[in-house]
Amino acid sequence: MTLPEIESYPIPHHPEPCWKATSGLRIVPDHEPLVPVSLAPEPLKVFPAYARLGIPGAVPECFVREGVYRRLLTVARGLPPGFGLVVLDGWRPWRVQQYLFDTLFEVMRGRHPALDEAALLDRTREFVAMPSRDPRAPSPHLTGGAVDVTLCDADGLMLQMGSLFDEASPASHSDYLERLEAPDARQRRARGCRRLLYHAMCAQGFTNLPSEWWHFDHGDQLWAYYTGRSEAHYGPAELDTIEQRWKR
């Protein structure tokens, strides 16, 4: 499996988002439904990471908005032979967002006992957004517009990307490997994979959260912020239920 030419282009540095500015962007709802990614044909794969890890409230499926689903398919179909796209998480319930935030916050408190509450919040928000169901400022993953992805090989095995999914460390920053002065062979390989993932996703209109090589957005406020738009398309979303159908 050879690395394509696109992997020779470094991932550019982007500043962390200003969450106040992001949450202040207007949302003009586009009522696209949430759809299960498991419907997708090869080479798009699904591995609902949080359900597999036993996170309370996690659903055993990855749901995204229909427009995100179609873009992910285009990304997967455009990858070079021998590469596949794996969706690890998309829409998530508020309960899962709260659990992830609270858990990481407590880990940060134990690791950095000298930090005050504000600094701990900043450290936590580097990797987990504040839980919010506010229709004017929802957490990105609660909209169905945020998606966590990685690459796999022709056998479906996930490739080494330089850090683990959800690893709360500087190595998870998208451009971390670009800043190494003398990367070894393993790091160069991971850097090439990150570049491929980043450029393939961005070519289909996604934006990347700079602190997480796996996190991409389309249509939500974070996407609007990084693309310079004044409006987002996706607000909070909920799964369709039999009760809601009967009520309709």
Binding-site annotation: residue ranges for Zn(2+): 141, 148, 215
Residue spans of beta strands (DSSP E) within the chain: 26-27, 34-36, 44-46, 63-65, 84-89, 146-152, 207-208, 215-217, 231-232
Task: Output the known binding site.
Answer: 141, 148, 215
Please list the active-site residues. 212
CA distance linking residue 210 with residue 114, whole number of Å: 26
CA distance linking residue 168 with residue 200, whole number of Å: 24
Instruction: Kindly give, in sequence order, each residue whose CB lies less than 8 Å from that of residue 39, ignoring residues fewer than 6 positions away.
Output: 69
CA distance linking residue 199 with residue 129, whole number of Å: 24
**Short-list 121, 196, 203, 211, CA closest to 163:** 211
CB 27 within 8 A of CB 232: yes
**Burial class for 164, CB neighbours closer than 10 Å (0-12, 13-18, 19+):** middle
Amino acid letter for position 25: L
